[in-house]
Chain A
Amino acid sequence: MTEGQSKLRLASKWAALLGVTLLFLFPFYWTLVTAIKAKPELLTWPPVWWPAKPQWGNFAAAWAAQPFGTYLKNSVLVTLLSTIGQLLSSSLVAFGFARFDFPGRNFLFMVLLAAMMIPWDVTMIPLYMEFNWLGWINTLKPLIVPAWFGAPFFIFLLRQFIMSIPRELDEAAKMDGANMFQIYWKIHLPLMLPALVLVGTFQVLAAWNDYLGPLIFLNDESLYTLTLGLARFKTLHDTNLTALAAMTIILCLPPLVLFLTAQRYIMDSSLSSGIKG
C-alpha cells in the first residue's frame, strides 16, 4: 500500500466517524434549540440554527402548562421502587441458580431463558385482565410489583457474574458458620456491585422510559408518568413546539446523566459475558 492510499483511508475513516457522530448527536442539539426559540423562529424556511435571543424562560412556561410535577413524582416513584425490587429479587434468584445443585435446576433455567423470548404483546391483554381482577388498574402497582419477582435477562446476567466468583469464598464463610442466605447477603451482594450497577441502570431506563405500561394500566391524570404525560401533551398541543421540546429534554436528562455516570459498566462488563456465556 502506498503512503497516499493509507492517508486517504485514514481521512475517509475520520470523515465517516465524524459524519456519523454528527448525525447521531444532531437531533439532541435540535431539540435544545427548538426549546429555546422564540415563536417566530420556529416554523421558518430555512430553519433558524440558533435563536437570536435564547428563551430560557420557555422551560418554566412548559413546566406550568401541564401538571408535570405530578408526572415527575409518579415516574420517580415507579422507577425507584421497581429498581429496588428488581435488584433484590434478580440477585437472589441468580444466586439460587448459580450456587445450588437441585433437581430440575437445568430445566427451570431453560424455562427462564425461553421466557425472555415471549413478546409482551401476548401477555399484555391477560395481564390487563389480571390486574383488573386484582383491582390494580389505575394504580401504580402494575408498574412496580412485577419487578419484585425478577426478570429473566437480569437473572441471567447476574448468574453469569456470580459463576465467576470463586467458590472458595463460600466454603470459607461456611466454615465460619454462615448459612447460604448470609453468604448471598454478606459476600456475594457486595462483590456483585458492578453487575448490580448494570442491572440497576437497565431497570431504571426501562421503568423511566416505559410508555405502553402506563398507557394501558393508568387512567387518571394524577397517576400519569412523564412519558404518558408528554405523549398526551403532544396529542393535545402538537403545535406548542417549544413546550414539547422543553419537556422532551426533561424526559431525556435523567437517562443521559445516568448513562454518563454508569457508562463504564454498560460498555465493558456485561455485553461480552452476556453473549458468550
Chain B
Amino acid sequence: MRPVAAPATRLSSRFRPGAATPYLFIAPWMIGFLAFTLGPLLFSLYISFFDWPLVGEPEFSGLKNYTTILTDDADFIRSLKVTLKFAAMFVPANLIVALLLAMLLNQPMFASGFFRAAFYVPSIISGVALVTIWSWLLSHEYGVINYMLSFLGIAQINWLGSPNWAPVSIVLVSLWSVGGTMLIFLAGLKGISKELYEAASLSGVGKIGQFFLITLPLLSPVLLFNLVTTVIAAFQQLTLALLLTKGGPVKSTYMLAMYIYDNAFKYHDMGYAAAMSWLMLLLIIALTVAIFKFSSMWVFYETEVKGEKP
C-alpha cells in the first residue's frame, strides 16, 4: 500500500456520515469500563497516597501507606505469607484434580454426559452454600468425613479448628467446585487427535509415555490459561475465608484479600486498603508476567511443527 493513501482514507472515513455508528454500538461497554473499571482503578491509586477515612477529611500522605505496609505491618506480612502458602497448595491441587477428572471423562464410555454433569454441578452453586454444606461435613466431632476416616484408623481431624488443617480444608472445599477448570481441560483434550495416540501405541509407547509425550505438550496452551486463572483465583479467595474459617484459627486463613476487606470495611481506612490492593494487583501482574515469560520453555503451540512460528 502506498503510504500516502493511508491518512487519506482515514480522514475520509472519519468525516463520512455514520462513521460514529460503531462507537454507538460499543458505547455501553466504553462507558461502563470508564465508570466501573478504569475510573475506580485510577481513583483507588489516587486515594492510596492519602490518609483517607470513610467519613472525614482526607489528608495527603505521600508514600506513607506503602512504606507502612511494607516495613511496619506484621499483619500484612503474615497475611501475605498465608496467601502464598495457600496458593502453593490451591493452584497445584486444583490443576491436578481438574486434569485427572478431565482425563477420566475423555474416554469413550456409556453415560459420559451424566458423569460430566455430576463432576461439574457443584461449581454452579453459591459460595455461601459451599460453606454451610462443608461446615457439617468437616465437623470435628460429628462430621461424616471424620467418621469415614475412622474406618481407616485415622483419628478425628479438627478440620476447621486447627491452624494446620484450616487452610487445607479451604483447598478441599474449593476442589469440590473444580468443574469450570475441568471443562476447559476437557475441551483441550478433545482437540488432540486420536491418531497421535494410535501411532504412539503402535510404536510401543505406553500410557504413561503417551501422557508425557502427547497429552501434556499438546495441552500446554490450555494448561497455561488454567494456571493463570487459578493463580488469580487463589489471590482473590475471600468468601470461604470470611465464612468457613473467619480467617482463623489464629489467623491461619487470614489471607490478603480478607485483610484488605477488613481495612476498608471494618476499620474504614480506605487509603490504606487501596494501597494494599494495589500492591496485590502488582504482585498478581508480576506473577502473570513471570508465568508467561517462562511459558515459552514449556508451552508448545501446534503451529510450531509446521514452521509457522509467529
Q: Which residues does chain A contribute within 8 Å of B120, judged by CB atoms?
A: 266-267
> What separation, in Å, do the CA atoms of A252 and B137 have in the docked complex?
17
Q: Which residues does chain B contribute within 8 Å of A208, judged by CB atoms?
A: 126
Contact A25 B128 (CB under 8 A): no
> What separation, in Å, do the CA atoms of A13 and B35 have in the docked complex?
52
Stretch in B62-70, B71-79, B181-189, B210-218 with 4+ CB within 8 Å of A: B181-189
Is A31 located at the chain interface by the 8 A CB criterion? yes
Contact B277 A125 (CB under 8 A): yes
Is B197 located at the chain interface by the 8 A CB criterion? no
* B1 shortest CB reach to chain A, Å: 15
Q: Given A93, A119, A122, A148, which contacts B25 in the complex, CB threshold below 8 Å?
A: A93
- Which partner residue on chain A sits nearest B121 by CB separation? A259
Q: Which residues does chain B contribute within 8 Å of A211, judged by CB atoms?
A: 126-128, 239, 243
Contact B131 A234 (CB under 8 A): yes
Is A95 located at the chain interface by the 8 A CB criterion? yes
Which of B54, B132, B281: most chain A CB closer than 10 A? B132
* A187 shortest CB reach to chain B, Å: 14
Contact A25 B41 (CB under 8 A): no
> What separation, in Å, do the CA atoms of A121 and B21 have in the docked complex?
35
Q: Which residues does chain B contribute within 8 Å of A205, judged by CB atoms?
A: 124
Is B298 located at the chain interface by the 8 A CB criterion? no
Q: Which residues does chain B contribute within 8 Å of A178, judged by CB atoms?
A: none
Is A17 located at the chain interface by the 8 A CB criterion? yes
Is B60 located at the chain interface by the 8 A CB criterion? no
> What separation, in Å, do the CA atoms of A251 and B129 have in the docked complex?
7
Q: Which residues does chain B contribute within 8 Å of A103, judged by CB atoms?
A: 10, 13-14
- Given A122-B280, A244-B132, A275-B184, residue A100 in contact with residue B21 (CB < 8 A): yes
Q: Which residues does chain B contribute within 8 Å of A251, judged by CB atoms?
A: 125-126, 128-129
Query: Chain B: how many interface residues by the 8 Å CB criterion?
Result: 87
Contact A121 B236 (CB under 8 A): yes
Q: Which residues does chain B contribute within 8 Å of A68, judged by CB atoms?
A: none
Contact A146 B32 (CB under 8 A): yes
- Which partner residue on chain B sits nearest A272 by CB separation? B187
Query: Chain A: how many interface residues by the 8 Å CB criterion?
Result: 85
- Given A31-B133, A231-B128, A271-B187, residue A125 in contact with residue B264 (CB < 8 A): yes
> What separation, in Å, do the CA atoms of A205 and B179 have in the docked complex?
14
> What separation, in Å, do the CA atoms of A118 and B229 have in the docked complex?
11
- Which partner residue on chain B sits nearest A233 by CB separation? B132
Q: Which residues does chain A contribute within 8 Å of B95, judged by CB atoms?
A: none
Q: Which residues does chain A contribute within 8 Å of B274, judged by CB atoms?
A: 125-126
Is B165 located at the chain interface by the 8 A CB criterion? no
Is B119 located at the chain interface by the 8 A CB criterion? yes
Is A84 located at the chain interface by the 8 A CB criterion? no
Q: Which residues does chain A contribute within 8 Å of B280, judged by CB atoms?
A: 119, 121-122
Is B227 located at the chain interface by the 8 A CB criterion? no
> What separation, in Å, do the CA atoms of A55 and B47 have in the docked complex?
54
> What separation, in Å, do the CA atoms of A264 and B191 have in the docked complex?
19
> What separation, in Å, do the CA atoms of A255 and B179 have in the docked complex?
15
Residues 127-158 of chain B: 1 if any A CB is under 8 Å from the residue's CB, otherwise 0? 11101111111000110100100000000000
Contact A119 B37 (CB under 8 A): no
Q: Which residues does chain A contribute within 8 Å of B136, judged by CB atoms?
A: 30, 34, 241, 245
Q: Which residues does chain B contribute within 8 Å of A26, judged by CB atoms?
A: 144
Q: Which residues does chain A contribute within 8 Å of B80, judged by CB atoms?
A: none
Contact A100 B119 (CB under 8 A): no
Q: Given B28, B36, B118, B127, which contacts A93 in the complex, CB threshold below 8 Å?
A: B28
Contact B40 A27 (CB under 8 A): no
* B302 shortest CB reach to chain A, Å: 11
Q: Given A24, A89, A150, which contacts B176 in the complex, CB threshold below 8 Å?
A: A24
Contact B128 A230 (CB under 8 A): yes
Is A112 located at the chain interface by the 8 A CB criterion? yes
> What separation, in Å, do the CA atoms of A24 and B177 have in the docked complex?
9
- Which partner residue on chain B sits nearest A214 by CB separation? B128
- Given A13-B107, A43-B141, A150-B32, residue A209 in contact with residue B127 (CB < 8 A): yes
Is B238 located at the chain interface by the 8 A CB criterion? yes
Is A216 located at the chain interface by the 8 A CB criterion? yes
30 contacts between A and B (CB under 8 A): A17-B115, A30-B136, A45-B141, A95-B25, A100-B25, A115-B37, A118-B281, A120-B236, A121-B277, A122-B281, A123-B41, A124-B277, A125-B44, A125-B273, A126-B47, A146-B32, A149-B28, A149-B29, A149-B35, A149-B36, A150-B28, A209-B124, A212-B238, A227-B126, A227-B127, A234-B128, A259-B121, A266-B120, A272-B191, A275-B184
- Residues on A lying within 8 angstroms of B by beta carbon are 13, 16-17, 20-21, 24-28, 30-31, 34, 42-47, 89, 92-93, 95-97, 100-103, 105, 108, 111-112, 115, 117-130, 146, 148-150, 152, 155, 180, 184, 205, 208-212, 216, 227, 230-231, 234, 241, 244-245, 247-248, 251-252, 255-256, 259-260, 263, 266-267, 271-272, 275-276
3 nearest interchain CB pairs? A149-B32, A96-B25, A100-B22
